[in-house]
Structure 1
């Protein structure tokens, strides 16, 4: 019975079996931990290098994807190799000692083949360590070669010099520059005010020069006009000396002009002008044109209309344009000579009725 009891009490799990189970769990956990820590990923646009506790920074560069590493013994270092923009502002002086605020925009990225060297000398924040200092230095050296006005008129040349010099300086640190541009350029308020005042002065000077030139041209025009009038007066004097008919012609032309002006002012109504109103002696002008005085044989029973017909026969002046004046009054066509007490040797004044001209 005692032996049977001893056999039934030893039926539980043995110590060796429990140890084997725990060991298996430990191995499984270690394998999982090792798998998680033995892999590292490199994202798109990035590159990686390894730092080992024995050899330091390795020369091998790892591209995009998943790679192996020895946990604790190797440490991956990730670099973003895409171009990154950076604005650097600088206050510097020009060749003519004018202060200027200038901002330079730099698009930079590390040289992939030199990542181990960059890590040894500059670390992961290489751009923070290098770009501000070299950009300021290059800007100051280039801007000092130009006057303030040349920075504006030759801006393309200034940007080219900055880009060339800055690319050479950055290459010493294994940094590549894809683009360099000057985005902002501002002078001191005093210099800006001086430039504006200078521009205003130049505009006023140009305006004054224009006024002077205009006055000179007007003076020349007056001289030419005076010379022309003098020559015209000289020619008129010669014409008067040679012939009296020129004066008579001018007198008639003046009368025509006066009559035209008065007719336009009076509308379509007819105008009756005596010799004084026309500014000439009509009878004298008629004699000048006909070459003789008008002599008419008039009977006492002649009507005024018949007298006008006689004048038309003599001088060719239509009756409709004739106005006969006797005793200061106009004679009416249907009245006779007897009604006006016309006697032999009486003088009638002939006035022309003008219609749109003489």
Structure 2
């Protein structure tokens, strides 16, 4: 099958419609023509053939006209669908290799059963949030060999344009319409799988087996791409701000914990000192207050204060010289 693209139009030339004989049988016809000419010119005398030359040439031509149309050569990866003038398309396909048909009453058409690739070009679809997406899809498929004749009878050799292409277009639009545009990238493989499952269910009754569906590319509207980029930038900025806030909170928490730790340390030290004073005082037979007074007396230089600040009452302060 050859596709010719001219501008916006696509023309399909299906060489399989002519059968493999377009490559082999012309050589046989050329050989038959040479045989006829040889029979006609053998033993030629001057410009006139000998008397039996016309009979030999006619016999050779008759044999070629009967034998050559009876020869069917089915190439590798094909099946031959046989059409009989009186019975229509046979249910039995001819396998690869050489076979024969009834001349002029039967004709053979080759059906390709190899793996083929269908590319839809562009599918204009809308996501579930109404964003326009141009999707490029490739489908690997093959014709079931045992159903080649049935496919030729019901659809013809243009099955790719008749059933495969429209099904791919319809199902791709259907499945894309179930996905949000922003989620398209991460859902690409599940989307292709969904199209494959739906396409298989639709084409199997015709004898077409879907092997693999690949979403090769997807093109979004430029405004949507800009909006997504701006959202990503805004999300990144918000995340950065959240990280800064979290860092500041962690710093404050560390400061509080450090202060609480320092306070706890001082309390522990004070309790330790208090306990030590109590133990020393007990050992000396003092109370804690008596022990502290004893320490002060031990540290006194022996000089009495000579200056009094304030009243001479209970709260006066004496200063030494």
Separation in structure 2 between the aligned mates of residue 220 and residue 103 of structure 1, nearest angstrom:
55
Larger C-alpha radius of gyration, 1 or 2? 1
Is residue 221 of structure 1 aligned with residue 254 of structure 2?
yes
Determine the C-alpha separation between the residues in 1 that align with 2:99 and 2:266: 112
Aligned counterparts of 1:124 and 1:231: Cα–Cα separation in 2? 91
Residue 91 of structure 2 is aligned with which of 59, 63, 76? 59
Shift of 1:43: 0.8
| The one of 237, 254, 258 aligned to 1:204 | 237
Aligned to 2:109: 77
Q: 2:217 — aligned with what?
A: 184
Separation in 2, partners of 1:96, 1:193: 16
Work out whether 1:44 is the aligned partner of 2:72: no
1:68-90 deviation per Cα after TM superposition (whole angstroms, max 9, x unaligned):
12332221111111010112231
What is the CA-CA distance between 1:225 and the residue it aligns to? 4.7
TM-score, normalising length from structure 2?
0.61
Q: How far apart are residue 38 of structure 1 and its match?
A: 2.1
Pairing 1:103-252 to 2, within 5 Å after superposition = 103-225=136-258
Other-structure match for 2:15: none
1:258-316 superposed Cα distances (whole Å, 9 cap, x missing partner): xxxxxxxxxxxxxxxxxxxxxxxxxxxxxxxxx9xxxxxxxxxxxxxxxxxxxxxxxxx
* TM-score (normalizing by structure 1): 0.55
Distance 1:169 1:232 in 2: 79
Secondary structure of the 1:169 match is: helix
Structure 1 residues 155, 24: closer, same or farther in 2, change over 3 A?
closer
C-alpha displacement of 1:148: 1.9
Relative to 1, partners in 2 of residues 1:199 and 1:27: Cα closer, same or farther, differing over 3 Å? same
- TM-fit CA distance, 1:92: 0.8
Structure 1 residue 186 displacement after superposition: 3.0
- CA–CA distance in structure 1, aligned partners of residues 107 and 197 of structure 2: 37
- Matches of 1:165 and 1:69 in 2, distance apart? 39
CA distance in 2, matches of 1:19, 1:207: 106
CA distance in 1, matches of 2:266, 2:93: 105
Provide Cα deviations, 1:93-125, integer angstroms capped at 9, x if missing partner.
111111212222111122222223322232112
SS of alignment partner, residue 206 of structure 2: coil
- Cα deviation for residue 226 of structure 1 reads 5.0
Give the Cα separation in 2 of the matches to 1:232 and 1:141: 71
Structure 1 regions of 5+ residues with no counterpart? 1-17, 240-290, 292-358
Deviation, 1:170, is 1.2
Indicate the RMSD between aligned Cα atoms, in angstroms. 3.0
Structure 2 residues without counterparts, runs of 5 or longer:
1-49, 274-300, 302-321
CA distance in 1, matches of 2:161, 2:173: 19
C-alpha distance in 1 between matches for 2:257 and 2:90: 96
Asked if 1:96 corresponds to 2:129, the answer is: yes
Task: State the shift of 1:20 in Å.
Answer: 6.7
Q: CA deviation at 1:29?
A: 2.8
Q: CA deviation at 1:135?
A: 0.6
